[in-house]
Amino acid sequence: MKKITAMVLGLVLLLGMIQVSCFANSGEKQPVSLLNEGKFSVSLSIEGMTGQSELMKADCVSGKVTVSNQSGGAVSAVVMLAAYQNNKMIRSKVLHKGEILSGIMPFSFSMDKLSRADTLKAFVFSDSMEPFCFSASDGLEPTQVILFKFDDARPTVMGQTAQFDQALSYLAEQGIPAAAGVLGKWLEDAKNDPVKYEAQIGLIRKWILEGHQLWIHGYDHAQGEFAALGEAPAASYDKQKETIQATYDLMESVLHYSATCFAASYNQNNEDTISVLNQEFPQISTVLFTNDPNGRLEAMNLTNSCTMEIQTGVVSYEAFLNHYEMVKDKPYLVLQAHPGYWEESSLEGLKQIVAYLQQQNCVFMTPEQYRLFSSAQK
């Protein structure tokens, strides 16, 4: 009997959480009749935090949920707190189940095991799980997100792969994900002779395990690959499709990785590139530094930049600081670099930049992580 009772109680709680999740994620206003004609309200505050970045780095938070009951009498209700990551509930907690007296009632809370939650929300429900009022969010200041865009990974060029690995391994030690652009031509060599290039491919697979994202940078970084450049005319629609498809297929067959991000070589593209991405590659959900003056792209286009290198392969901390002052209020920034060409001084520059951004309470993400994060904030 005890086991049956426990199972029933567990099912009731699960159904309640599902209803909470559906209401919280619906984004639709509930009928006024369900919201008790505005006689209830709820607010949420977190102790010792002012910015979203602090929440995202915390494993445990404490605070207060305050319920206002202006209905003129006591009402039976459930007060709940939920933590979200990218609009998905990852933790929930019942703070109170029973009478809500007329007036103001505060409920202190502590919640742990947050696992990079980016939002807390509070709810007040009737016993039948109908909302008494609109949910309350934490009210924290939005954080700035930093994305590292590392270009020109040539997987079978050992020197460059090792240089890349130094930069990405350092970021992994800091708990920072980055995005590395892969060129397909060099994967073809690895596919044809996997034993010869086992070490290089092993390093790139390690990047994936460390949480870094790989993106399609084209096939061979040739001029004209995606846009007219110098004396080279732009490749046709069919040729651009072939270029992206070849690299996508090689990443799948050699690295066992399905790419969802693209950025053109030289950061240059034309209208055919946009058409190819829209019509042929729906799996590409983010692009970097893509020229789209007519707003045709269906993928998220990340274009806010901040200087990191003063020339290809040369990181400058001073140049970064000067530019950052002009763009520090942007919701996100993409920092582009070419670690395959770095000397030791550039790696030290990266460390200085990371330390500075950490002091600014920035949060670091891959393009795909930012897409999910930003869509959840809308």
* Residue 199 neighbours by CB distance under 10 Å: 11
Name residue 311's beta-bridge partners: 314
* Tens-digit pLDDT profile for residues 104-159: 999 999 999 998 899 999 999 988 888 989 999 999 999 999 999 999 999 888 88
Query: Region 203-225: what's the mean pLDDT?
Result: 96
- Beta strands, E only, the chain: 40-46, 61-69, 75-85, 88-100, 103-111, 119-125, 136-137, 145-153, 179-182, 213-216, 261-262, 286-288, 300-302, 309-311, 314-315, 332-337, 363-364
* Residues 6 or more apart whose Cβ sits within 8 Å of residue 279: none
Q: Residue 6: what pLDDT?
A: 41
When pLDDT is averaged across residues 80-108 and rounded to a whole number, the result is: 94
Q: What's 375's DSSP letter?
A: H
Residue 250 in this model has a pLDDT that exceeds 90: yes
Q: What is the pLDDT of residue 36?
A: 60
Lowest mean pLDDT among 10-19, 174-183, 292-301: 10-19
Tell me what pLDDT residue 15 has: 36
Q: Does the pTM of the predicted model rise above 0.85?
A: no
Q: Cα 40–46–52 angle (5° rounding)?
A: 110
Helices (H) and strands (E) in the chain, counts: 10, 17
Phi-psi region of 89 (alpha: psi -120 to 50; beta: other; left: phi over 0): beta
Whether 25 has a pLDDT exceeding 50, the answer reads no
Mapping DSSP to helix (H, G, I), strand (E, B) and coil, where does residue 18 land?
helix
Residue 35 has pLDDT above 70, yes or no: no
Neighbours of 110 (CB within 10 A): 11
pLDDT recorded at residue 31: 37
Beta strands 40-46 and 61-69 are: antiparallel
Residue 336 · residue 149 · CB < 8 Å: yes
Task: Give backbone dihedrals phi and psi of 373, rounded to 5 degrees, phi first.
Answer: -65, -50
Q: And the tokens for 291?
A: 């020229």
Q: For residue 325, which amino acid is it?
A: E
Query: Using N-to-C axis directions, what is the helix angle for 198-209 and 237-255, rounded to 10°?
Result: 90
The token pair at 224 is: 């004209």
Mean pLDDT, range 76-100, rounded to an integer: 94
How large a percentage of the chain has pLDDT more than 70? 90
Among 127, 119, 123, CA closest to 107: 123
Q: 82-108 b/e with 16+ CB inside 10 Å = b? A: bbbbbbebebbeebbeeebeeeebebe
> What pLDDT does residue 129 have?
85
Burial of residue 236 (CB within 10 Å: 0-12, 13-18, 19+) is exposed
Assess whether pLDDT exceeds 90 at residue 28: no
User: What single-letter DSSP state applies at residue 33?
Assistant: G
**Tokens in use for 226?**
């995606």
Mean pLDDT over residues 260-277, rounded?
A: 97
Summarize pLDDT for 291-337 with one digit per residue, the tens: 999 999 999 999 999 999 999 999 999 999 999 999 999 999 999 99
pLDDT per residue as tens digits for the range 215-246: 999 999 999 999 999 899 999 999 999 999 99
pLDDT-based confidence at residue 4 (cuts at 50, 70, 90): very low
Count Cα neighbours of 153 within 13 Å in the Cβ-side half-sphere.
Answer: 31
List CB contacts of 223: < 8 A, sequence separation 6 or more: 229, 230, 231, 232, 266
